Amino acid sequence: MSEFDGMKRVLEDAGLYNIVPARIVYAELKAYAEGLDLYFDEAEELIRECFISTAESFGLTLREELVQRLNLLSTLAGRRLALINALSISAKDGTPEGIVKLAESFNVQGSFTYDTAQNKLTFTCSSTVSQDNKSLMQEQMKKFAPAWAVFEVV
C-alpha cells in the first residue's frame, strides 16, 4: 500500500474529509504521498545497503574499497562471501588455515607451497589475475604470513 492509500484511509475514517480526485485535498495528499514514498524508498535502500547479507550496490562497493578486495566473482553472492571472509580475519588467523582463509577472501583459487631451504612461502594463483591485483594480494596477505618467511604471490 502506498502512503497515499494509508493517509486517505486515516483521514476518511476520521470523518472530516471526503477525498475525491476533483478536490484540492486530494491533490495535496497525492503530493505529500509522492514525497513520502520517495523518502521511504530511499530509507529502505539505505537500510538494505547497511548489511553485507542484503547489500546490492554501494554497500558492497564501499566495503570492497575499504578492505581492498578483488571482485573476481561479480555475483552478489560471491562479493558478499569475499567480504564476509575478509572482515572475519583477525591476528589469530596467522596459521596455515588462516592464510588459506585469507586467500579465499580474494575469491581466487590457488595453492600454497613452502620452501624450507629459503624460508619462502608462495601462493600460486590459478585464477586469472592481473599483476597489479597480485601485488595487492601479496601486500595484504604478507601481513598474515609468518614473520620468519618470505611471502610471494605468483
Instruction: Specify whether 21 is located in the same domain as 89.
Output: no
pLDDT value for 1:
60
What is the C-alpha to C-alpha distance for residues 140 and 152, in angstroms, rounded to an integer?
11
DSSP for residue 17:
-
Q: What pLDDT shows up at residue 64?
A: 84
Determine the Cα–Cα distance for residues 82 and 52; give it in Å rounded to an integer: 10
Asked if the model's pLDDT at residue 30 lies above 90, the reply is yes
25 is in which domain, residue-wise? 3-49
- In this structure, are 98 and 66 located in the same domain? yes
Same domain, 34 and 63: no
pLDDT at 108: 81
- Contact 104/134 with Cβ under 8 angstroms? no
As a whole number of angstroms, the longest Cα–Cα distance in the chain is 89
- Indicate whether 121 and 64 sit together in one domain: yes
Q: How many folded domains does the chain comprise?
A: 2
More confident residue, 78 or 56: 56
Say if CB 153 and CB 126 are below 8 A apart: no
State whether 94 and 143 are in the same domain.
Answer: yes
pLDDT band at 91 (very low <50, low <70, confident <90, very high): low
Same domain, 86 and 103: yes
User: Do 35 and 81 share a domain, yes or no?
Assistant: no
Give 121-146 pLDDT, tens digit per residue. Answer: 888 888 888 888 888 888 877 877 77
Q: Please say if the pLDDT value at position 73 is more than 70.
A: no
Q: Are residue 16 and residue 44 in the same domain, yes or no?
A: yes
Cα gap 121→124, rounded to integer Å: 10
**Co-location of 11 and 35 in the same domain:** yes
